[in-house]
Structure 1
Amino acid sequence: MGDKTHTHPGAAGRAVTADHPASVRNVVLVGPSGSGKTTLVEALALTAGAVNRAGRVEDGGTVSDHDDIEHRQHRSVQLSLVPVEWDGIKVNLLDTPGYADFVGELRAGLRAADAALFVVSAADGVDGATRMVWEECQAVGMPRAIVVTHLESARADFEEMTRVCAEAFGADDPDAVLPLYLPLRGPAGPDGHAPVTGLVGLLSQKLFDYSAGERKESEPGEDQLPTLEGARDRLIEGIIAESEDETLMDRYLGGEQVDVKTLVEDLERAVARGTFHPVLAAAPAAEGARQGLGTVELLELITRGFPTPFEHPLPEVTGIDGTPRELAPCDTEGPLVAEVVKTSSDPYVGRLSLVRVFSGTLRPDDTVHVSGHGLADRGHEDHDVDEKVGALSMAFGRQQRPVDRAVAGDLVCVAKLGRAETGDTLSAKDDPLLMRPWRMPDPLLPLAIQAHSKPDEDKLSLGLSRLVAEDPTMRLEQNQDTHQVVLWCLGEAHADVALERLRSRYGVQVDVVPHKVPLRETFAGKAAGRGRHVKQSGGHGQFAICEIEVEPLPGGSGIEFVDKVVGGAVPRQFIPSVEKGVRAQAAKGVAAGHPLVDVRVTLLDGKSHSVDSSDAAFQTAGALALREAAAETRIHLLEPVAEVSVLIPDDYVGAVMSDLSTRRGRVLGTEQTGAGRTLIRAEVPEFEIGRYAIDLRSLSHGTASFSRAYARHEPMPPQVAEKLREQDGETS
């Protein structure tokens, strides 16, 4: 790496295609918001000749064109694909959002990629959320490299940042996280800051000067070599430690000089295996320059060190019936297995699906089977349909360049898959298959909405179904208790984007309303009630009288109805009518309009009329009796309690437990889960965790996660219930 001078005529006017999986590299860029991922993608595209010096593709638009929502958010909110070509290799660069609310897009990028490029700002360092993603990649053995950006910052220190990265990412083996190049700084400016103008290769011991806007190679001076020796020796030892030649370390320590070619080959193999993680530096090209600093070195690493799709294990594949299927990885002639990793709507071509082909070859006008299973809890019903594939294309900015096929290992945009949703599997219609969905973050922030007007009401259902089809990290709920439409999101920014997409893409204006927690009511003690429904208005009247007794039951008992009428005071045919009236009134509530639960209602006595009694009359009497009984005793409000599990770094355990106690939470226990993390289990009233997804992120600096599950309803403390009643009175 680093021994060739590259010149590229440019590929800005054509689609970058691949004929064989060996000529494809799929790379996802990972890093926090503001670390410079998108800028780096643009710099790589410029160096590869995919865009011109103005950063534009030949037929209009820039490589990083964002939709209007991203411009308003001032951040990337969706996964984007930028294909470039380097030394005959197609490189699919997957740029992911760095903000936590859009982690679903990041996970889609990880699913579609074979290697990850972690982008770290020299000005900001490594945050906890990036460490967590690194650990996830480490767990599945995904190859990784690190790029340090923002070297122009006054406080940027590449050597210090390399040490920080080794500490953050190399917990098991710090010598597996080492730089391949060191930055060269030019003369200091008036402010005393010396800009980075080039790099020196630690293996090749050559200088690469970018100060003129294009990479130029030269030999280092004798005075520069001693400063490189320590870093070079450590790099060589790190590479040799990962070498498959077990004798190499002994030979090196014995004084043998290992040739650079052998070291480079061992380095490339170690990177592809995911056991060595090189650190590089990169910066965007200056205005009018042709190449950004470090971009050539980075493209060399990607094409020569990162694995081909052949080396990426196939996700679990089954038949539609769940029967396991064993498929060869990346077989272009094998059964078609592809996956929709992103769905978007284009105003000109309609729905576009970004698809990773894992096996077989996908062509325009093919009829494929679309399978979606395993996401029903998020509003994605299981489905199996056949659809005809539309045009295949490569996205470049806002341009779509047609291609005639997509081979196994490649990524492609597919038009007109009207039923396919993110996470769905595409396979041959005569051999339908299913891939296990990737792990999705659980949306835990509720957003209750209602249509702004009658025309919006007519369009709301369709708009919501399209919204959740594009974004499987969003869950749609039609709450049967509160009668609210609730979008469950990952955070406030995620919610804002959802509302904006409803408005701008689907023409639906909605209002956000307070999210209601489903409460219940129950009797605090035993009470009696008499229901009298007697009306005479000429002709047949209405006559029904019943007497009941109501007593509380343990939680979870529901409504019990007991008949203890003697002597036919209430005719047998009307006893079910009383029960029906009681249950109807219980569903409506007896105090604050919440369903009544956990009581036994006993019918004791009553009166009837041979002519005027009826089913409807006794239903009404039963309801009146229950209301009268409720007026004779205290009614408890029951609130839902959730079982909450919080996974948190040990440093934040005290703060999280203290916060849970302020939310009326009861900690049930804690347990160590390894790697300096603790699992806290607690029960917390749902009233107190409506915004917990936001608050926990702030409390833990984005390093914690939590899950919640309904446990039961239990009585609300009197002071809390009284405060709630006052609030309800103010809003009514």
Structure 2
Amino acid sequence: MGDKAHAHPGAAGRAATADHPASVRNVVLVGHSGSGKTTLVEALALTAGAVGRAGRVEDGTTLSDHDAIEHRQQRSVQLSLVPVEWGGYKINLLDTPGHADFVGELRAGLRAADAALFVVSAAESPQTMAGATRMVWEECAAVGMPRAIVVTHLEAARADFAEMTRTCARVFGGEDPDAVLPLYLPLHGPQGADGHAPVTGLVGLLSQRLYDYARGERAESAPGAERLPAIEEARNRLIEGIIAESEDETLMDRYLSGAELDFTTLVEDLERAVARGVFHPVLAAAPAPPGARQGLGTVELLELVTGGFPSPLERAAPAVRTPGGTARTVGACDPDGPLVAEVVKTASDPYVGRISLVRVFSGTLRPDATVHVSGHGLEDHAHADRALHESDERIGALSAPFGKRQRTLTRCVAGDLACVAKLRRAETGDTLSAQDDPLLMAAWDMPDPLLPLAVRAHGKADEDKLSQGLARLVAEDPTMRLEQNQDTRQLVLWCLGEAHADVALERLRSRYGVRVDVVAHQVSLRETFAGRSAGRGRHVKQSGGHGQFAICAIEVEPLPGGSGIEFVDKVVGGAVPRQFVPSVEKGVRAQAARGVAAGYPLTDVRVTLLDGKAHAVDSSDAAFQTAGALALREAAAAATIHLLEPVAEVRVLVGDDYVGAVMSDLSGRRGRVVGTEQAPGGRTLVRAEVPEIEIGRYAVDLRSLSHGTARFGRGYARHEPMPAQVGARLREQARSTP
């Protein structure tokens, strides 16, 4: 691991390749915004020799040359892949955004990776770590993904490595804090004029050696006698932590009896514990200063990745089935097995077109081969708004990204990742398999987008491109959902938060040339009768030739919620001929759909046809439709009409510290808390019923209220009467809107 001999780095300017899954390591970097993930990736690439000392690739760009959207956002908004070589291994570094709005990119990284590096800043507060970062840690723990922790920003004035290590043990260790321990201690240089002593190297606890980076490249030496007591205390705790997670039950007995455990045995046991996901080492890292060849702690980190993190061969085979639903068994990461690959990310390049980042789980992907593309559809709840799709497509060029360039690959073996150009029909989450043996991987869990963004084309030219642009956005990002609301006639793009929505609008404009206007989101209101009422519709006209004659009398009464429109025929004596009764019903239903008071659809009423008159010559289907509509409008004019608003069932999973604030906030939104129950991890599930009009921005407000620690879901419950004062305010707003 970090105390091994110095490995040989890869060469700059050459695409990292893999011939076998055993030589691949797929690692996702996870952490809060500003924790230093992207800077760490650049430092690792420099140490591995993938970039020059100026941090630039051969085209003069750097790994951190983001697109225009990321520059404007001043943060990462998409998953990026940086492949490097170290000691004969190909390491795929997957850098993820830290902002909660881009959790879809994070989930893509977790799907593609076999291990995770949690990057935490030494200047972070415990509250920041205990938020979304802890939830991702728990997700990794649930599937047994190996994890390590990297502490950055050690140069900060208030940085305290020891305190941050204790915080990590408390937040991530849970009931077993001794499973989160440092492998190294920071080595501080001379104290500066400001009283701050910079970190210039590391002390290896297992090897008891110093690794000094003060001159820009690691230099190894023996520690002085004055350092040994501090090293010994931390070393003993680390050894005990390793032994506690060891599969060798004799180690503890040997250690307690005073036997000296050799260095090789400890390192091998440490690596096995890390690979099994039961021990989580803490390391420190810092970028290289200008002109330096290696960043502090980067050699140790690369050796941890290659020695302690598992290869794709150690990952369980994916659950797959045929598109028809028959379960299939696929061997674990066999390059010669049936092709099973997954599109984990889709992006658009203005010059190349669509680029799909693909993780190969079985078989080997080659350029120019024809593959079958299978996409999830309506049978999958998580993809309920997406069409089930099947198609055959020809693989274009395979490449590995590096900065803004793509380096050509001749193949991509099982366990590796590659970019595939011009898969026109493939969407994020789709499965690629052999043309003659189509397969479909199980869908991955994605959060529901719960922030509505109602949009309309800015001009005539934008109308023609809007639907295609939105369809591309949704195909690229499964955390976006497009809705054409039939009730409000609004086009709604559902997002995860405001930053997510801003990026969607910017991509529409810059990538697809579509300008849109954001309008106020409307909920699907309804109207109903408060009590019984009667109406008479008279449609009599004579204008030469055949005239129009139809008269009908109806009674309207309210029904329980969810009943819809019920039409009853009680005409006797043929006052309305049999052939025209359906015409009256058609006219009533058409008027109900248009509304009778504020323009919202009428529902939950029974309309009874009681009487009417017809003319032998002038009565017609159209005349009785008009009479039915007039009768309903007259009945409404004589009655009290209630506005009905949709009510959502809301489920909020929140830490116990914020339960009171969440319940108070829900009450302020006219919500009714219907129950609470304890959930694992010191959290509570709060169930409530809240009018949908009150939770349009709840995705944003809840994140602020709970410091990013809460999640919520929602589902339609029913429509119920809206308070009179709220209804009056909505009618006033409707009248004042041009």
Q: Does the pair score TM above 0.5?
A: yes
1:309 equivalent among 308, 312, 321: 312
- CA contact 1:519–1:637 (8 Å) conserved in 2: yes
- Structure 1 residue 607 displacement after superposition: 1.7
Contact (CA 8 Å) 2:119, 2:150: kept in 1 or not?
yes
Q: Give CA-to-partner distance per residue, 1:469-519, whole Å, 9 cap, x none.
A: 100010011111111111110000000100110111111111111111000
> In 2, Cα distance between the equivalents of 1:10 and 1:430?
39
Q: CA deviation at 1:248?
A: 1.0
**Are residue 197 (structure 1) and residue 200 (structure 2) matched?**
yes
Does the 8 Å CA contact 1:374/1:437 hold for their aligned counterparts? no
Deviates more, 1:538-547 or 1:381-390: 538-547
Provide the C-alpha distance between the structure 1 equivalents of 2:188 and 2:530, rounded to a whole number of angstroms.
77
- Identify the residue that residue 138 of structure 2 maps to in structure 1: 135
Give the partner amino acid of 1:503.
R
Aligned to 1:419: 425
Structure 1 equivalent of residue 504 of structure 2: 498
Question: Which of the residues 575, 578, 581 maps onto 2:581?
Answer: 575
Matches within 5 A, 1:116-131: 116-125=116-125, 126-131=129-134
Maintained 8 Å contact 1:378/1:475: no
Shift of residue 380 of structure 1? 2.0
- Is 1:289 the counterpart of 2:292? The answer is yes
CA deviations over 1:301-335 (Å, ceiling 9, x no partner) = 00000000011112211111111111111101000
Distance 1:4 1:538 in 2: 103
Match of 1:57 in 2: 57
**Deviation sequence 1:411-468 (CA, Å, 0-9, x none):** 0001111100000000001111110011001000111111111111001111111110
> How far apart are the structure 2 equivalents of 1:584 and 1:380?
31
Asked if residue 617 in structure 1 is aligned to residue 614 in structure 2, the reply is no
Tell me which residue corresponds to 2:334.
331
Q: Distance in 1 between matches of 2:583 and 2:164?
A: 77
319-328 or 21-30: bigger deviation: 319-328
| Residues 343-354 of structure 1 mapped to structure 2, 5 A cutoff | 343-354=346-357
> 1:82, CA displacement in angstroms?
0.2
Task: Give per-residue Cα distances to partners, 1:337-379, cap 9 Å, x unaligned.
Answer: 0000000011111110000000000000010000001467453
1:5, distance to aligned residue in structure 2 (A): 5.4
Q: CA deviation at 1:720?
A: 1.2
Name the SS for the 2:225 alignment partner.
Answer: coil
Q: Does 1:255 align with 2:258?
A: yes
Task: Tell me if structure 2 keeps the 8 A contact 1:547–1:604.
Answer: yes
AA at the equivalent of 2:202: L
Q: 2:475 aligns with which of 452, 469, 490?
A: 469
Cα displacement (A) at 1:610: 1.9
- The answer for the alignment partner of 2:15 in structure 1 is 15
CA contact (8 A) 2:181 2:238 kept: yes
Residue in 1 aligned with 2:676? 670
1:459 aligned residue (457, 465, 474) = 465
- TM-score of the pair, normalised by structure 1: 0.99
Separation in structure 1 between the aligned mates of residue 608 and residue 599 of structure 2, nearest angstrom: 22
What SS is found at the alignment partner of 1:457? helix
- Please say which of residues 630-639 and 668-677 is displaced more in the overlay: 668-677
Q: CA deviation at 1:8?
A: 5.0
Which residue in the other structure is 1:631 paired with? 637
1:517-557, CA deviations, whole angstroms, 9 ceiling, x for partnerless residues? Answer: 00000001111111111112222221111111111111111
CA contact (8 A) 2:346 2:427 kept: yes
Alignment partner of 1:223: what SS? Answer: helix
CA distance in 2 between counterparts of 1:504 and 1:2 reads: 45
- Report what 1:45 is aligned to: 45
Counterpart for residue 178 of structure 2: 175
Q: Distance in 2 between matches of 1:117 and 1:234?
A: 22
One-letter amino acid matched to 2:721 = P
- Aligned residues of 2:377 and 2:385 also touching (Cα < 8 A): no
User: 2:2 & 2:476 partners in 1: Cα distance?
Assistant: 41
Q: Which amino acid aligns with 2:665?
A: D
- Pairs within 5 Å for 1:595-614: 595-614=601-620
The SS at the match of 1:224 is helix
Comparing 177-186 with 541-550, greater Cα deviation is found at 541-550
Deviation at 1:14, TM superposition (A): 1.3
Instruction: Look up the equivalent residue of 1:482 and give its one-letter code.
Output: T
| Structure 1 residue aligned with 2:247 | 244
Read off the aligned partner of 1:144 and give its amino acid letter. Answer: R
Q: What is the CA deviation profile of residues 581-627 of structure 1, one whole-angstrom value per residue up to 9, with x for unaligned ones?
A: 11100000000000101111111111222222111111111111100
Residues 23-81 of structure 1, C-alpha deviations (whole Å, 9 max, x = no match): 00000000000000000000000000000111111133212221110110000000000
Q: 1:585 aligns with which of 577, 584, 591?
A: 591
Shift of 1:244: 1.9
2:202 partner SS: strand
C-alpha separation in 2, matches of 1:102 and 1:659: 25
Residue 567 of structure 1: CA displacement? Answer: 2.1
**Is 1:679–2:685 an aligned residue pair?**
yes
Please report how far the alpha carbon of residue 4 of structure 1 lies from its aligned counterpart in structure 2 after TM superposition.
4.7
Tell me how far apart the structure 2 counterparts of residues 139 and 602 of structure 1 sit (CA, whole Å): 58
Distance 2:101 2:488 in 1: 26
> Which shows bigger deviation, 536-545 or 30-39?
536-545
Q: Write out per-residue CA displacement over residues 282-314 of structure 1, whole angstroms, 9 at most, x where no aligned residue.
A: 000111111100000000000000000011112
8 Å Cα contact 1:519/1:640 also seen in 2? yes
1:5·1:217 contact (CA, 8 Å) conserved in 2?
no
Residue in 2 aligned with 1:701? 707
Partner of 1:33: 33
Report what 1:409 is aligned to: 415
User: For residue 564 of structure 1, what is the aligned residue in structure 2?
Assistant: 570
Report how many residues are paired.
732
AA of the residue aligned to 1:213: G
For residues 214-260 of structure 1, the C-alpha deviation after alignment (integer angstroms, 9 at most, x for no partner) is 11111111111112111011001111112222111111111111111
Q: Deviations over 1:634-679 (max 9, x none)?
A: 0000000111111111111111111111111111111112221111
Moved over 6 A (4+): none
User: 2:82 corresponds to which residue?
Assistant: 82
Say yes or no: does 1:729 pair with 2:732: no
Q: 1:155 aligns with which of 147, 154, 158?
A: 158
| Alpha-carbon distance in 2 for matches of 1:7, 1:300 | 8
Residue in structure 1 matching 2:557, options 548, 551, 555: 551
Q: Which residue of 2 aligns with 1:688?
A: 694
Q: Which runs of 5+ in 1 are unaligned?
A: none
Contact 1:33 1:98 (8 Å CA) reproduced = yes
Q: Following the alignment from structure 1 to structure 2, what is the Cα–Cα distance between the partners of residues 150 and 10?
A: 26
1:207 equivalenced with 2:210 (yes/no): yes
| Cα distance per residue 1:370-412 (max 9 Å; x no partner) | 0001467453211111000000000001100001000000000
How far did 1:12 drift? 2.2
Counterpart CA distance in 1 for 2:259 and 2:277 is: 27
Find the partner of 2:436 among 430, 433, 439: 430
State whether structure 2 residue 393 is matched by structure 1 residue 387.
Answer: yes
1:559-593 deviation per Cα after TM superposition (whole angstroms, max 9, x unaligned): 11111222222222211111111110000000000
* SS in structure 1 at match of 2:726: helix
Match of 1:318 in 2: 321
Unpaired segments ≥5 residues, structure 2: none
> Deviation string for 1:161-214 (max 9, x for gaps)?
000000011112111100000001111111111100000100111111111111
Q: Which residue of 1 aligns with 2:148?
A: 145
Change beyond 3 A, Cα 1:378–1:464: farther
TM-score (norm: length of structure 2): 0.98
Comparing 493-502 and 367-376, the one that deviates more: 367-376
Flag the 1:581–1:639 CA change in 2: closer, same or farther, 3 A. Answer: same
Candidates 629, 646, 652, aligned match of 2:652: 646
CA shift, 1:9, in A, is: 6.4
Q: Distance in 2 between matches of 1:2 and 1:436?
A: 37
Residue 69 of structure 1 is matched in structure 2 by: 69
Percent identity over paired residues: 80
CA–CA distance in structure 1, aligned partners of residues 689 and 718 of structure 2: 10
More displaced stretch, 561-570 vs 138-147: 561-570
Q: Which letter does structure 2 place at the counterpart of 1:601?
A: V
